[in-house]
Structure 1
Amino acid sequence: MTALDTDLIRRLPKAVLHDHLDGGLRPATLVELAAEIGHALPATDPAELAAWYYDAANSGDLVRYIATFEHTIAVMGTREGLLRVAEEYVLDLAADGVVYGEVRYAPELLVHRGLTLAEVVGTVQEGLAAGMAKAAAAGTPVRVGTLLCAMRMTDRSREVAGLAVAHRDAGVVGFDIAGAEDGFPPADHLAAFEYLRRENMPFTIHAGEAHGLASIHQAVQVCGALRIGHGVRLTEDIVDGKLGRLAGWIRDRRIALEVCPTSNLQTGAADSIAGHPITLLRDLGFRVTLNTDNRLVSATTMTREMELLVTEAGWTAEDLREVTVNALKSAFLPFDERNAIIRDVALPGYKTVLGAGR
């Protein structure tokens, strides 16, 4: 059996569906951009700042976790800041072995320095394109699609949904709502989801992280989500391995769960990696995907998330391949393009890396 050490896991092809642009900045970049605009940070040494982020996010509370984003959002309000953050985002994915990624962010949070919503989207796409070109030139190609988020605490979801549809041929592949979950149900944004369905635009919804089954039910049965962001509290509808009606519906219809283990520990949605719901959900046949959520805030990468599951939850190479294929099957891409990445990139890549490890 191939030993799944850090180097081998890093070389495995990966796919990430749930990753926030404003939660994944390089610490050094955050320090430099903050200095350029005169924004005060909790620390100006990159290593100390990274440690501050991780410690501040380990509160066990989603609202306090989200509060750490004020600094990253502050430096992403300029064209120069957005271009740099987006380009580096892609290069960091490529270095982590990611072959397909979907990155999400809320345009409405990034207009505080004068950019319009459309300018924010266009600038991010420009930065992502530059990163993809550099990654390809370096021999580590990665494809990145964008999800536009509306904040569930505000009333701009229909506007942002329109923005997503307007940019669907320019790299935007889907839509989401983000922010504090408890007290801000998905159905509050039903008009946006109905519009997206009419426009044949896919969307996912954060649900089942800080709130339970009611949030997941609304996301799926009322709003029509094709994927669920996190969804780990779906286990509340599973007793002794027997699935309730909602859990059975989600499993049987292959609605993907975008699970983020380290982030879930930080927000109190899970207690440990060894006992994380992702393993139970995988064992019960749900379409589980593995994700980072916020690489800066959680001090993580896809390599680290995989390694934690291997070392602490007993996952195998086959388990890692399964969640990678699951993510590609559920990507917001046309069917033939998803299949091509699975057939021509992911599966051959696994075979090459694991064969080399024997």
Structure 2
Amino acid sequence: MAAKPKLRIGLIGSGFMGKAHVFGFATAARVFDLPYEVELHTLADVTLAGAQAAAAGFGFAHATDRWQDLIENPDIDVVDITAPNALHKEMAMAAIAAGKHVYCEKPLAPLARDAEEMAIAAEAAGIKTQVGFNYLCNPIMALAREMIAGGELGDIRSYRGVHAEDYMRDASAPYSFRHDPAGGGALADIGSHALATAEYLLGPITRVMGDCVTMIDHRKDATGSARKIEVDDVGRAFLRFKNGATGSIEANWVATGRKMQHDFEVYGSKGALIFTGERFNELHFYNTDDATGRQGFRKIEASPDHPPYGQFCVAPGHQIGFNDLKAIEVAGYLDAIADRAPEPFNFRAGLRIQYLVETIQASAKSETWIATV
């Protein structure tokens, strides 16, 4: 068997998402028949000591405190960005100019106009891109979309989506990059997942009516000074879909007790689906064709019948996890780089989500419905 070509990865950032990306590359290499041999080449972080410690722990050969070193190194093929949101554009544009493929965690950029510039640059340069929306890689999510598209629910009438967590619940927690008014807030941070899921399942959203609310109006920054918070802690929107369905989404990062509520409900003329991210190996299906006295939501458990679950585990109901979804995302992206498949969720798709976020924010300010297509 011929040796596979190497694909050398340069990672920017070693926090929660940086680690998740490393798990994704490591697992994908062992689960899937990738078109490349993945090499973890260089890790960049804010301090050299931190970068060296993370590189040693993650298995990178080199470490640096200058992310520009990844851009300037001709050996690196893919620049993987898990830095704070406001830095994504500068890093991605530099990588694109250097002819490197770019894998960027969401959101693609704080502002839609920046995301558009990034998408146009990547397309013009022929660069393959990926934005990190790994919840869409869940085999159960693919099953739900298949059931909806196949007519098992009949005509889709309504949709409800929510992404709620409580990591900003504590009013004494400090001001962070997520509070940056240039593009922060719950709607941008986690509402982006709710919007991506809604369009993944039902297709284009055509109109929105937004409501964005700040619940904690001041937080202390690193110097101890009080900073006024201008972004939303809770963001909601009513939705109209191209297929005629109506719906809503909610983003809430002060939802006390919620750690990972990425949920959806889909209601059709013949059936319904319910999903919760806190039990994301399950899908609940109601079928109006069931006999009277036997109707009710029944649980469908993830299994090898829902690819690529079987490549992780041969036993139904034994479950895959968050980092496995990253591995599926990585495998799809590497197939795209090798021209074996289209890009699963490229910069153009990431731009679409940022555009929806900003349209909802504009609607909340104007208190009017706004068209999105």
Confirm or deny a common fold (TM above 0.5). no
Q: Which has the higher strand share?
A: 2
Larger radius of gyration: 2
Q: Which has the higher helix share?
A: 1
